[in-house]
Amino acid sequence: MKKLKKILHLLLLERGGKKSNLEDTYYFIKPTFAIKDKEGFKYTVAKVETTPEVVIHVYRHGLDGEEEYFHIPWNQYKKNYEAV
């Protein structure tokens, strides 16, 4: 598990993530890391929590132009999403 977290750490930094000093959370200040679901909807990754489980926090703009926020557990990400 430690090796997997190290690989995840390197991948998140490579994608532009900034690690928080207080917790195992990575923030994405610039909207450069995006994912899409199987239907083609794109989401911008805002942050990734790695403890206790990996959870990806994303947002997209709704029809009214307002940002909508979603939390995607890792097991759902693997099944329904991919990096863009």
- The position carrying tokens 């490579």 is 14
| pTM for this model (two decimals) | 0.74
Give the pLDDT confidence of 16-67 residue by residue, as tens digits: 888 887 778 888 767 778 999 999 999 999 988 888 888 999 999 988 989 9
pLDDT for res 11: 81
Q: Where are the domains of the chain?
A: 2-83
- Neighbouring CB atoms inside 10 A of 73's CB total 11
72 CB burial (10 A radius; 0-12, 13-18, 19+):
buried
pLDDT for res 1: 61
User: Given phi > 0 = left and psi -120 to 50 = alpha, else beta, which region is 65?
Assistant: left
